[in-house]
Structure formats: C-alpha cells, structure tokens
Amino acid sequence: MPSKPNIFRINPKLSGEDRFTAYWHYILSSYPTTGQSILDQIALSAELPKTRFISAIDHPIGDQKNRPDFEIEGEDYNILFEHKIFSELGEQQLERYLKLASVRAKKTYLAFVSARNHKLEDMILSDPLYIQPRGEAQHFTWQVLGAELKRERYGLVKEFLQYMEMEGLLTMPWAGLGDPFIDSKAENALREVLKEVANDTRKQGCSIRHSSKSIGTEYRKPLTGIHLIYIYASPHFSSEDERLSGRLMYASVWIKHPGGFLQAKLPDAYGSFDGSPQVFVSDEVVQSSWDKDLYRERLYMASLPKILGKSQIEARRNIREFIQLIIEHLENNLGHSVQSLEVI
C-alpha cells in the first residue's frame, strides 16, 4: 500500500491541476472513509459493483509517455483518472490511458473528471473499460464529486471544499437552468446571451466568432491596433491574480508583435475600476500558444455570479455593460496610445 502523503511536502511550484490532484490525494488518503464515499459514488453512478477502498495514488506509474493523474485502488478493481479543470484533453489522451488499463493484470477502468463538459469520441464512450455517469454526461465532474464531500464531517475536508469553492469548482446554479459549465440548458442559454450581446456591441469592422468549446466570444479587430478581445467565462482556478476568487468573466486583449515582443503597446493599467460588478485589470504579458507574434497585453476580470445575476435578462444587461466598460477603458483611458498603434 502506498505511504500516506504529507501535506507539508506538496511542492508549491506544481501546476494548478497537479497541485489540485495532490490535495485531492491527501484528502482521500488521510480519510479512508471519504475515499470510500467517493468510490461508492462513482461505482453507483457508473453501475459498477461496490468494492472496498484500499488506497489512492497520485500520478500512478504508466509508461514513458503516459501517466494518468490519479488512481483509486479497490479490492476488486482499480480506477485510473484523468483530471482536468478547464483545459482541453491532449491528443489521444484517453485512448492512450485506456490501453494502459487494458494491459493491467487486475481489472482496471478509466474515468475522466473535469469542471466543464467535454464531448468525447464514440470510440472512447463505447470502450468497456471507460466508465461514465448514468444519463447524458460523458464524464464525471468536480461539481458532482464536490457535492459528495459536503456529507463529510471532517474539518480538513470542509476546508478543502472551501478551497474548491474559491477556485470555482463547486456547482453554481443560474437562472433556474443549472450550472452553465455542466448543464446543457444553462450552457446553451449563456451562449445565446453572449451571441445577442456580441451583435449589440460589435463595432463596424469587427468580426465575431463564438467558441464551440469554451463559453466565450472572440471580437476580432474591435479597435485600431487590437487584434482580438476574447470574452469568456471560466473558473478562477490557477489564475495569476488572487484579488478575485470563484468563477470569473474574463476579457483578454491580444495584440500583434511581428518579429517578437519587445515592448508593450498598451500602457500599464493594473488595478481596478468601478463597474457592475467591479472590474479588475492585469497587465501581465503572455505569448499565445497558436501564434508566436500574438501576445496578451491586458486581462480584465469580474465576478461571474454577479455578472450573470439571477436571470438571462440580468446577465444580458451586465455582460453588455462589462464589454462596453472594457471598450471605453481601451478607447478613453488609454486615449491616443491605442489610436497610434500599428494597424493590424
């Protein structure tokens, strides 16, 4: 049986998802009854027979190229897990992990857990070693597993739940439709709101593209010198800015730097300004992963629950105001600096 983890030895430099997995490992290993509750919930939902919880393993041994995030060892079978918060799956990631499970001497299944809905290939869903919840969901979610933890009485488990809430990983009901990240009705309603607002706020010469994966909208060439503004909803998880927690509405501002980044074209504006709700600003520069000449120079953030409010009407009004505030901030607060940027 693996040795019990020590929370004080968890590497603080771990990436967000790996750090979350390390904490999850600590909770399930420290409280075997909690581990049993999670295993029972997964087994019941996936229509597997119940089995006794033996241990939890952080990043179990795979092979040179494949190492799943997590494993629960049961008396009768094991379950490998791939953990995501909001990122996409890697190329053939679940397919590769299913191959790992298939060569185990002991019966081993694969489960996928994320904080948002992913559409998986039929080949994965039909594999007898891939387990998923009953119903329409194609994978498990942190929101549902977090709800199971609310039954636990341990103080540290309650603190872990507070941590999940701060990172935006617990269920956020909206407008009587459910959680936009895991309930299709709520997700589709929020996407429609974003489309309507985009049509209302688009300036002449600006083109609009709606993401099919994340809940977001691209405003392409919305202002002179601005290549892209991407408006999207997301958990706060792993954000570099600790002034906000929970779920956020983001607006990232991207600018072209042909030949590479030398100096920011936007002046520093780190801080916040009044809005409904308050909008926070970060000036940390980030190079895009898809275009070496494209850089994020500005990131606007506001509380998603406050922006969405309690209805689609309220969400439509607040998202429109959020976008208008950002455009005005780029036009007026930055003034001639924006107008003098090289036209892209």
Q: What is the pLDDT of residue 2?
A: 63
Q: What is the pLDDT of residue 303?
A: 92
**Cα angle vertex 150, ends 147, 234, to 5°?**
45
Q: What is the pLDDT of residue 237?
A: 60
**Cα angle vertex 192, ends 190, 195, to 5°?**
115
pLDDT of 64 > 70? The answer is: no
Domain boundary among 131, 166, 201: 166
3-state DSSP call for residue 243? coil
Q: What's the N-to-C CA distance of the chain in angstroms?
A: 59
Does residue 178 lie in a domain region? Answer: no
Does residue 173 lie in a domain region? Answer: no
Q: What is the pLDDT of residue 12?
A: 83
Judge contact between 331 and 223, C-beta under 8 A: yes
Does residue 174 lie in a domain region? Answer: no
When pLDDT is averaged across residues 276-295 and rounded to a whole number, the result is 91
Question: How does residue 241 score in pLDDT terms, banded at 50, 70 and 90?
Answer: low
pLDDT of 336 > 50? The answer is: no
What are the two backbone dihedrals, phi and then psi, of residue 31, each rounded to the nearest 5 degrees?
A: -125, 85
Q: Which has the closest alpha carbon to 85: 134, 18, 131, 138?
A: 18
Judge contact between 81 and 59, C-beta under 8 A: no
For residues 201 and 327, state if they share a domain: yes
pLDDT digits (tens, 9 = 90+) for 115-140: 999 999 999 999 999 999 998 899 99
Q: What is the pLDDT of residue 37?
A: 97
For residues 71 and 197, state if they share a domain: no
For residues 222 and 328, state if they share a domain: yes
Does residue 2 lie in a domain region? Answer: no
pLDDT of 333 > 80? The answer is: no
For residues 256 and 146, state if they share a domain: no
pLDDT digits (tens, 9 = 90+) for 18-44: 999 999 999 999 999 999 999 999 999
Domain holding 130: CATH number?
Answer: 3.40.1350
Judge contact between 213 and 259, C-beta under 8 A: no
For residues 207 and 153, state if they share a domain: no
For residues 55 and 160, state if they share a domain: yes
Lowest model confidence (mean pLDDT) among 86-95, 201-210, 269-278: 269-278
For residues 13 and 160, state if they share a domain: yes
Does residue 191 lie in a domain region? Answer: yes
Q: What is the pLDDT of residue 239?
A: 56
Question: How does residue 297 score in pLDDT terms, banded at 50, 70 and 90?
Answer: very high
Does residue 142 lie in a domain region? Answer: yes
Question: How does residue 344 score in pLDDT terms, banded at 50, 70 and 90?
Answer: very low
Does residue 177 lie in a domain region? Answer: no
Strand partners, 303: 248
H-type helices in the chain, by residue range? 16-30, 32-46, 93-102, 122-125, 142-149, 155-166, 184-201, 304-308, 312-328, 336-339
Report CA Rg, the chain. Answer: 22
When pLDDT is averaged across residues 234-248 and rounded to a whole number, the result is 73
Structural domain of 88: 7-166
For residues 158 and 193, state if they share a domain: no
Domain boundary among 102, 131, 166: 166
Q: Which has the closest alpha carbon to 344: 291, 306, 304, 298?
A: 291
DSSP symbol at 9 = G
Residue 344 CA to residue 338 CA, distance in Å, equals 12
For residues 199 and 133, state if they share a domain: no
Number of structural domains the chain divides into:
2
Question: How does residue 337 score in pLDDT terms, banded at 50, 70 and 90?
Answer: very low
Length of the chain: 344
Domain boundary among 136, 166, 196: 166
For residues 29 and 139, state if they share a domain: yes
The token duo for 139 is 């994978």
For residues 272 and 302, state if they share a domain: yes
For residues 238 and 330, state if they share a domain: yes
Does residue 172 lie in a domain region? Answer: no
What are the two backbone dihedrals, phi and then psi, of residue 166, each rounded to the nearest 5 degrees?
A: -60, -35
